[in-house]
Chain A
Amino acid sequence: MSKDFFLGIDIGSVSTNVVLLDKSGEVIENMYLRTQGKPIEVLQKALATLYEKYGDSLQIKGVGTTGSGRHLASLVVGADIVKNEITAHAKAAIFFVPDVRTIIEIGGQDSKIILIKDRIVIDFAMNTICAAGTGSFLDRQAERLNIPIEKFGEIAIKSQNPVRIAGRCAVFAESDMIHKQQLGHPCEDILFGLCLAMARNYLANLAKGKSLESPILFQGGVAANIAMKKAFEQLLGTQIIVPKYYNVMGAIGIALLAKERTKGLITKFRGFENINGCKFETKGFECRDCSNYCEVVGFYSNGNLVARWGDKCQKYSSNRNYHIENSKNL
């Protein structure tokens, strides 16, 4: 077995994903963990598990981070590349299905559509402020109906006569669901109705004016839900592919990008032992020096200040030694 490995880390709002690729791009290890509001701890734990399993034989040649927590993660591990999740998802999809034309990606807090032609991204869209059509909404509804989220798809797919639910707004959708449930509609019909409403909302919101060509890939955590796949297939009238590693595609993409970036270079990876032995902390305060009231965050490793961000004037972020005593804040 080749000893060169590449690490991809995708820290999203709901899940933290870590993958290990070998030189040829084969997925050796993939982890899908819940972020639960503690991205640094979850990441440290995941890396510790990897280290326990492989020990020193694991030679990391490149690391990439993506997702909404990418900047934080890059400080923890020492990343070679920090990229947005759209580019990472497209990269992975093209790697597995070279002739892919459309990517439907639905994650915890956001959903995206990526259009590809000749292995190049030609257009994309991300959901706006509203999170009505995303995983965390499905999560909440499953919880309300007391159904484990893993069973959601299984139950919903049995539906023969799905109910009509308004999917524009999460609040309206919920009240619609409650009305239907009080009228006595069976659970599976309501659940599949919700899937259809979400798919309709997705197509109306993100895909408006765009033509969705086949092959269509469906990835992100929500792709685990077979009823969502069925709903999209029903609405689009075409087959949809759910790739094998649908829930860690972002992490695979960024690992592939890290592999490209580190060609002939030495990685900035800090090493498993250094990461696991370190105590990372963040401290924030609201600066009151001017009326912008910036929320400044400091990142500490073993009590030493590593970086600061969030200030508009950059007096904290550009100068690490800017003493807090200098300001009126503390």
Chain B
Amino acid sequence: MKVGVPNSFCYAGMENFFIRVIPEVLEDSQIIFSGKTTKEIVEYGLKNSCDELCIPVKIFIGHVEYLIRQNQVDALFLPRLVSVLPGTYSCPKIIGIPDIIKSNYHGIELVVPEINLRKKRKIMSEESMKNKQLFDFPMAKIAKTKNIMVLAHSYVIFDEFLNKGILETIKNAGYNPIYPAYYRFNSFYNSSDLPKEFFWSSARDIYNYFEWARNSTDVDGVIYLMTFGCGIDSILQELIMRKCNKIGLPYLCITVDEHCAGVGIQTRIEAYLDMIEWRSNRDEKSCLPAHG
């Protein structure tokens, strides 16, 4: 049986988990990943989704369409990620995504196991849940100086179509991009000054990373990559912006959407890095306090 796994959106970075788990759940299965986001996939997604969805969900639908059309899979493996971090919930769109697919694609088998660390309810085998590592994103190497913090959901940071190669742009300009690598973080750092912890796992992860990184390393600036129409981003972006303004850290928010040309993003990042450069040159000369 050909089992398709769209590895974008909430399932991005879970490839190793799937390779481990799918053979246990489904016997005689051949796993097919949808691969990197391409323009073809994006076009499928835009054609098959409604306006109100955020761009990562639209792209996800494109991945599903691609698997069904191009690879002719017999089944789709879509675990329901209710909670992937103890004490939190995933975004409602993540929880509901198997249903979105179910109501739109008939005649294809859906395998929807539930992952819910909040209730410690286990639908999957004991063995596969022992290793709780769901995501395998490469961690960012932290340099001594010239670190630029890029904050976003991992499916934005690791999708070159969505972010228009922002990590490369920063590297080419001589800076070192650092970014949160989803959910691992919480286990060894958790001290936010917020009156109440975040409800969503991704928000908690991003905010904790922001707090940890700015306290423990030398960070020159913060770039928030916001996806158009994302509810979590809209509140988190504002919180981080206020914090940055308060402590005088250069901050830039970039909204990504369906644009095909990366020129707008390039211009903003170039100007932002120029600003940082300009500031640091001045700081050395006249001993002004750093960052204005």
Given A128-B255, A290-B38, A68 contacting B274 (CB threshold 8 A): no
- With a cutoff of 8 Å between Cβ atoms, the chain A residues found around residue B41 in the complex are 291
Q: Does any Cβ of A come within 8 Å of B267's Cβ?
A: yes
Q: Does B259 lie within 8 Å of A129, measured CB to CB?
A: yes
A62 to B179, CA, bound (A): 39
| Interface residue tally for chain B (C-beta within 8 Å) | 28
Q: Is the CB of B288 within 8 A of A84?
A: no
Point out which of B39, B241, B282 has the most chain A C-beta atoms below 10 A from its C-beta. B39
The digit string for A79-112, where 1 denotes a CB below 8 A from any CB of B, is 0000111110000000000000000000000000
In the bound assembly, the distance between CA atoms of A84 and B264 in angstroms comes to 10
A315 to chain B, nearest CB (A): 16
Query: B40 at interface (Cβ–Cβ under 8 A)?
Result: yes
Are the C-beta atoms of A120 and B274 separated by less than 8 Å? no
> What string of 1s and 0s marks CB contacts (under 8 Å) between B249-275 and chain A?
011000101010001100110111011
A87, A120, A291: which contacts B271 (Cβ < 8 A)? A87
A289-311: CB near B (< 8 Å → 1, else 0) gives: 01111100000000000000000
Docked-complex contact B279 and A120, CB < 8 angstroms: yes
Among B39, B257, B259, B274, contact of A292 (Cβ-Cβ < 8 Å)? B39
A68 and B267 contacting across the interface, CB-CB below 8 Å: yes
Q: Is B278 engaged at the interface, CB distance under 8 Å to the other chain?
A: yes
Decide if B92 is an interface residue (CB 8 Å cutoff): no
Given A68-B263, A209-B241, A293-B40, also A124-B275 (CB < 8 A) = yes
B195 at the interface (CB under 8 A from A): no
For residue B255, which residues in chain A have a CB less than 8 angstroms away from its CB? 128-129
Interface membership of B292, Cβ < 8 A: yes
Which residues of the other chain, B, contact A129 by a CB distance below 8 angstroms? 228, 255, 257, 259
Q: Is A270 an interface residue (CB 8 A)?
A: no
The residue in chain B whose Cβ has the minimal distance to the Cβ of A129 is B257
Please measure, in the bound complex, the distance between the C-alpha atom of A86 and the C-alpha atom of B271, giving whole angstroms. Answer: 6
Partner of A291, one of B40, B259, B292: B40
Nearest CB in chain A to that of B264: its residue: A126
Majority DSSP secondary structure for residues of A touching B: loop
Q: Which residue of A lies closest to B274 (CB)?
A: A87
Residue ID in chain A nearest B36 by CB atoms: A292
Indicate if the CB atoms of A126 and B268 lie closer than 8 Å: yes
Cβ < 8 Å to B, chain A residues 208-236: 209
B238 nearest CB neighbor, chain A only = A209
User: How far is the CB of B211 from the nearest CB of chain A, in Å?
Assistant: 21
Chain A residues lying within 8 Å of B278, measured Cβ to Cβ, are 87, 120-121
Told that A118-B292, A120-B282 touch, could you supply 18 new A-B pairs with CB distance under 8 A?
A84-B270, A84-B271, A84-B274, A85-B267, A118-B282, A118-B288, A121-B275, A122-B250, A122-B292, A123-B250, A124-B272, A126-B264, A128-B255, A129-B228, A129-B259, A209-B245, A291-B38, A291-B40
Pairs A–B under 8 Å by Cβ, sample size 26: A68-B263, A84-B274, A86-B274, A87-B274, A87-B275, A117-B292, A118-B282, A120-B275, A120-B279, A121-B274, A121-B275, A121-B279, A122-B279, A122-B292, A123-B250, A123-B251, A124-B272, A124-B275, A126-B264, A128-B255, A129-B228, A209-B242, A290-B38, A291-B39, A292-B39, A293-B40
List residues of chain B with CB under 8 Å of any chain A CB: 38-41, 160, 228, 241-242, 245, 250-251, 255, 257, 259, 263-264, 267-268, 270-272, 274-275, 278-279, 282, 288, 292
